[in-house]
Amino acid sequence: MSADHEIENLSHENRHFAPSETFARNAIAQVDLYAEAKADRLGFWAKQANNLHWHKPFTQTLDWTNPPFAKWFADGKLNISYNCLDRHVEVGNGDRTAIFFEGEPGDSRELTYAELTREVKKAANALTALGIKPGDRVAIYMPMIPEAIIAMQAVARIGAVHSVIFGGFSAESLSSRIEDADAKLVITADGGYRKGKASALKPAVDEALSAGKCASVKNVLVVRRTNQDVAWVEGRDVEWSEAVGNASDEHEAQAFDAEHPLFILYTSGTTGKPKGILHTSGGYLTQAAYTHKNVFDLHAETDVYWCTADVGWITGHSYVAYGPLANGASQVIYEGTPDTPDWGRWWSIIEKYGVSIFYTAPTAIRTFMKLGSQIPEQHNLKSIRVLGSVGEPINPEAWMWYREHIGGGQAPIVDTWWQTETGAIMVSPLPGITTLKPGSAQVPLPGVSAEVLDDEGNILGRGHAGLLVLTEPWPSMLRGIWGDPERFKETYWSKFEGKYFAGDGAKWDEEGDLWLLGRVDDVMNISGHRLSTAEIESALVSHPFVAEAAVVGAKDETTGQAIVAFVILRQNQIEAAGSDSDVSKILRDHVAKEIGPIAKPRTIIVVAELPKTRSGKIMRRLLRDVAEDRPIGDVTTLADTSVMQSISGKLAGGAND
């Protein structure tokens, strides 16, 4: 089937689900939101911003005089943590639960807004005592425990800048991110519980800081979660229980400029070097809070919200650590994996806490779908009111299964399109307004302007597929790439003058709904996690056995895409190493060590040559055809057209998994 046919099939969907009358009547977002934003876009955003508390009100909404460097609410001052915590306590909501924490071993902990505020104040004082000042960078490498959120909020409270590094990344990835940001402090834990075991984190920090690396780091603040033995560097390592435990719980939040940096979050781009995406304060929190409230129809007094994302990803920033707290929501935080002790764990958590809004990724839904509906059926999921999906396209079958088996056949599903760079949701239905269509992210949110363009930049209308762009600046947009303004301009703003190029293919269907068609660059999406082909290629070639490598993302039924690596080996090195063990395993483990287990190729295919154009560019399109077991496309631009025959012959002869 040609790609065009696939797109045609994808965006023909006859099933439509209008919101129920009761839902629509009680919904937070009402239909005039669209008209309001259309009539006065900046006025609309200013109104959303004014739902926050400003120590000094802003008078200017947007400064776009020096594109692509936007300033939102620039003359205003606020404190992010005050907005997420203190103000709820001050209006009398201190007793409301902020966090229902569920540890993987079954321990649980509840923190009210008053308690969370107190913990964050103590942590803020502890950070200040460790010499952290506004603008300093703090790396956070933590399991999903309340202290991860306390740490992020405390860093934000004192105007420092956090860089959270996902706990699944390797010591190597950790140290390159710490070095890029010149972090002064690392906050970590001894370990966390995953898959029924204590999984260590501190050793990766020790390794990341070893041998003179990361000289900027003065201290490592360590939370005890698993109580496993950890090495201790006197003078550098500090116990969280002492530093935070003994700190004063009095801390007055100081106001910072709206454009004060809030965090850096590294994400994969098209080169081997991850990009430090920079977000600032006022605009980011405005849009995180606005989207969290309207897209999920949050009724903070009664809802229990749960987003399964880890704080190591943008979803765990905007929809765990910031948006829900800014809105005074009660949320569940779960430490572990969905299969521990069995595949019913998530559903038992929903039942236990009465979760009413649930936000997860299509990969998880497809996994559950395969396992069968008898698992969720053993649990009472009647509390569910709204379901969300994020990270990758959700296929209509998975959408229908999600609605039927998790949403009781009636919960609206919001398929939310956005990126680390956009900071918050950009395209999504609104649950009380939009008539839902399985598989489509549907419409730009009020205040957001998106278009689909052809390669020349012409605006495409209904029925046409092209490239997704955002045509107007938005409050939570990235403000740059840490330390690399040129790369920021080049990556996002150079393809189409004055417009943000997202890197995604998209199509408006005949009814005006948007379908996301996946990345059009060399970025892969594995289980909703973003990885670049170049990053994995450079990890592979850093091994002495590998002469050359080309990596592609091949379609995968469960994970969306899977990593397939084509490698040319150095036979002499393998012989010299006397290695008769499984080269494929050695290389997969090597990638896990260099980047992290999520980057392990699913398949490694040993080849004699790679398909290249006459100018030496690897033709990944052809390798994808091989990896996806399709007839090979046009090979006429190859320097040597026989290469593809040899590769597909190799595959037929058996690739090693």
Nearer to ligand PRX, 103 or 316 (CB): 316
Nearer to ligand PRX, 247 or 478 (CB): 478
Angle, helices 41-49 vs 32-39, to 10°: value is 110
SS3 label, residue 586: helix
Name, in order, each residue with C-beta under 8 angstroms of 242's C-beta and a sequence gap of 6 or more. Answer: none
Nearer to ligand PRX, 103 or 446 (CB): 446
| C-alpha–C-alpha distance, residues 593 and 207, integer Å | 12
Nearer to ligand PRX, 123 or 295 (CB): 295
CB 447, min distance to ligand PRX, A = 18
Nearer to ligand PRX, 330 or 416 (CB): 416
| C-alpha–C-alpha distance, residues 360 and 310, integer Å | 11
CB 158, min distance to ligand PRX, A = 27
CB 420, min distance to ligand PRX, A = 3
Angle, helices 113-129 vs 146-157, to 10°: value is 60
CB 31, min distance to ligand PRX, A = 22
Q: Per the structure block, which two tokens stand in for 414?
A: 């919001």
Nearer to ligand PRX, 323 or 391 (CB): 391
CB 361, min distance to ligand PRX, A = 8
Nearer to ligand PRX, 347 or 417 (CB): 417
CA dihedral (94, 97, 101, 106) in degrees, to 10, reads 120
CB 96, min distance to ligand PRX, A = 27
H helix runs in 213-335, sequence order: 240-243, 282-295, 314-316, 323-326
Nearer to ligand PRX, 253 or 452 (CB): 452
Q: Per the structure block, which two tokens stand in for 488?
A: 């920021």
CB 593, min distance to ligand PRX, A = 22
The CA-atom distances, in angstroms, between 267 and each of 112, 132, 166, 314 are 33, 25, 11, 9
Q: Do 558 and 498 touch, CB atoms closer than 8 A? A: no
CB 530, min distance to ligand PRX, A = 4
Locate the DSSP E strands across 226-370. 237-239, 256-257, 261-267, 275-280, 304-307, 330-334, 357-360
CB 255, min distance to ligand PRX, A = 29
Residue 468: what are its φ and ψ, rounded to 5°? -80, 130
| C-alpha–C-alpha distance, residues 328 and 477, integer Å | 23
CB 279, min distance to ligand PRX, A = 12
CB 490, min distance to ligand PRX, A = 17
Which helix (H) or strand (E) segment holds residue 222: the answer is strand 219-223
Nearer to ligand PRX, 190 or 415 (CB): 415
Which helix (H) or strand (E) segment holds residue 202: the answer is helix 202-208
Nearer to ligand PRX, 223 or 470 (CB): 470
CB 506, min distance to ligand PRX, A = 9
Nearer to ligand PRX, 405 or 519 (CB): 519
3-state secondary structure 63-76: ECCCCCCCEECCCC
The CA-atom distances, in angstroms, between 324 and each of 113, 278, 286, 482, 543 are 12, 21, 12, 26, 43
CB 324, min distance to ligand PRX, A = 16
CB 6, min distance to ligand PRX, A = 15
Nearer to ligand PRX, 172 or 392 (CB): 392
CB 391, min distance to ligand PRX, A = 5
Four-residue CA torsion sign, 528, 339, 587, 168: positive
| C-alpha–C-alpha distance, residues 392 and 417, integer Å | 8
The CA-atom distances, in angstroms, between 478 and each of 424, 489, 502 are 10, 11, 12
Name, in order, each residue with C-beta under 8 angstroms of 432's C-beta and a sequence gap of 6 or more. Answer: 19, 23, 24, 25, 26, 27, 28, 29, 30, 297, 412
| C-alpha–C-alpha distance, residues 335 and 331, integer Å | 13
Name, in order, each residue with C-beta under 8 angstroms of 250's C-beta and a sequence gap of 6 or more. Answer: 121, 125
Cβ-based neighbour number of residue 190 at 10 Å: 19
Nearer to ligand PRX, 95 or 511 (CB): 511
Four-residue CA torsion sign, 496, 290, 523, 507: negative
| C-alpha–C-alpha distance, residues 11 and 438, integer Å | 10
CB 360, min distance to ligand PRX, A = 11
The residues of the shown chain that bind ligand PRX, judged by CB under 6 A, are: 267, 314-315, 390-393, 415-420, 441, 502-504, 516, 519, 525, 530
Nearer to ligand PRX, 330 or 420 (CB): 420
Distance separating the N- and C-terminal Cα atoms of the chain: 26
Nearer to ligand PRX, 363 or 420 (CB): 420
Nearer to ligand PRX, 324 or 393 (CB): 393
